[in-house]
Amino acid sequence: FFRMKIVCSKSNLVTGVNIVSKAVSSKTSLSILECILIVASNGVIKLLANDMEMGIETRIQGEIEENGMIALDAKIFGDVVRRFPNDFIRIVTDDKLMARITCLKSKFNLPGKSGDDFTYLPKVDKEESITISQFTLKQVIQQTLFSISENDNNKLMTGELFDINGDSLRVVSLDGHRISIRNIGLRQKYDKRRVVVPGKTLGEISKILSGEVEKEVNLYFMKNNIAFQFDDTTVVSRIIEGEYFNIDQMLNENFDTKMEVNKRDLLECIERAVLLIKEGDKKPIIMQIMDNALELKINSTIGSMDEEVEIEKLGRDLLIGFNPRFLIDVLRVVEDERITMYYMGSKSPCFIRDEENKYIYVVLPVNFNPVM
């Protein structure tokens, strides 16, 4: 059963290994979790990896001479095949679970493991699903993932809400200081569904997705899992249990002050300002919003900065402080050349959103000493 013989091109194998390696556990004492399982059966060569939170399976083109399977250390196996010349790679295993991997005149022997201990991916139930483009999914993850919480105190904050309602998908992340919301139109109507997907899963998927507009990805919803199927790849991940936060009650469209600004000017100014903040320090950037001008100031032991940026303003003047990194995170992922920010005083959250609410970013202000 274990004596596998397969041949495939270097490029196919490397592509597959790079994909499934995203689900290889890096900090574990269970060495099977550090392996890629290669399975050749029913005319198909599959690569699999599973870190018990997320599993990935991908098919690669190649020729099967004998069915079989073997688990190989992902790091070593990946390094070796990446270093091979651009030619065909042959993998042959023996009874002792030694894999002989050859390419032209180069021959490697790598000890493997049987697939018996490998935990297969949960079966994907294809009853409930939605379809979006790879481009959209990749983009929406990159535009929201920065505001998940890094610590586990509230498990729900480490994931992102995928909220399907009719023909719209809302993706939400929040960490207690800020909220990121993206609204995406779907091509058809679907049943209502709310699932919270682990941030780690989404981060890895965004790296694998080609990001092409014409290519699609199907999302399948199961009781404890979500599956993403695209190209020759299936990613299955646990979902985070629990009722996500009620976002709608945190949103409103009122404002005392509304300001329109060139995004790049504002971003570059704040990026300069953070040079004056030592790692781990919590210095706020102070915004003085006036007619036609926004003055930004920061003051630390390293030095001080003040800078003026042109704006168009509606409503009251305002003096407000922010964690500058939170503003940078938002400004880096908004595509618009000009953005609009809405304020309700110096103690209330600031909203950065477009007219159609395709994106809504909420950032809480911070207290500061106004005498500075």
What residues make contact with a copy of itself under the rule CB under 8 A?
73, 76, 79-80, 83-85, 105-111, 268-269, 271-272, 275-276, 302-309
The closest alpha carbon to 305, from 281, 279, 269, 332, belongs to: 269
In the bound state with a copy of itself, the residue whose beta carbon lies nearer, of 140 and 294, is 294
Please report how close the Cβ of residue 302 comes to a copy of itself at its closest, in angstroms.
6
Residue type, 288: Q
In the bound state with a copy of itself, the residue whose beta carbon lies nearer, of 152 and 279, is 279
Count other C-beta atoms under 10 Å from residue 118's C-beta. 19
Contacts within 8 Å (CB) and 24+ apart, 252-256 = 253/342, 254/344, 255/315, 255/342, 255/343, 255/344, 255/351, 256/315, 256/316, 256/318, 256/343, 256/344, 256/345
Helix (H, G, I), strand (E, B) or coil at 88: strand
User: Rounded to 5 degrees, what angle do the CA atoms 126, 217, 56 make?
Assistant: 75
Please report how close the Cβ of residue 269 comes to a copy of itself at its closest, in angstroms.
7
Please report how close the Cβ of residue 127 comes to a copy of itself at its closest, in angstroms.
44
In the bound state with a copy of itself, the residue whose beta carbon lies nearer, of 304 and 357, is 304
In the bound state with a copy of itself, the residue whose beta carbon lies nearer, of 216 and 271, is 271
For residue 314, give every residue at least 6 positions away whose Cβ sits within 8 Å of its Cβ, in sequence order, or none: 257, 258, 259
In the bound state with a copy of itself, the residue whose beta carbon lies nearer, of 44 and 293, is 293
Contact of 133 with 213, CB cutoff 8 Å: yes
In the bound state with a copy of itself, the residue whose beta carbon lies nearer, of 292 and 367, is 292
- Radius of gyration in angstroms for the set of CA atoms belonging to the chain, rounded to a whole number: 25
Please report how close the Cβ of residue 289 comes to a copy of itself at its closest, in angstroms.
16
Strand partners, 69: 39
Please report how close the Cβ of residue 91 comes to a copy of itself at its closest, in angstroms.
13
Please report how close the Cβ of residue 50 comes to a copy of itself at its closest, in angstroms.
23
In the bound state with a copy of itself, the residue whose beta carbon lies nearer, of 303 and 370, is 303
Helix (H) or strand (E) holding 13: helix 10-20
Give me 147's structure tokens.
């505001």
Please report how close the Cβ of residue 86 comes to a copy of itself at its closest, in angstroms.
11
Please report how close the Cβ of residue 4 comes to a copy of itself at its closest, in angstroms.
17
What Cα–Cα distance (Å) separates residue 252 from each residue in 214, 248, 309, 343, 348? 35, 8, 27, 11, 11
Please report how close the Cβ of residue 27 comes to a copy of itself at its closest, in angstroms.
17
In the bound state with a copy of itself, the residue whose beta carbon lies nearer, of 109 and 357, is 109
Strands (DSSP E) found in 112-158: 129-133
In the bound state with a copy of itself, the residue whose beta carbon lies nearer, of 3 and 107, is 107
Output the DSSP codes for 318-369.
Answer: EEEEE-HHHHHHHHHH---SEEEEEESSTTS-EEEE-TT-SEEEEE--B---
User: In angstroms, rounded to a whole number, what is the distance separating the alpha carbons of residues 327 and 85?
Assistant: 46
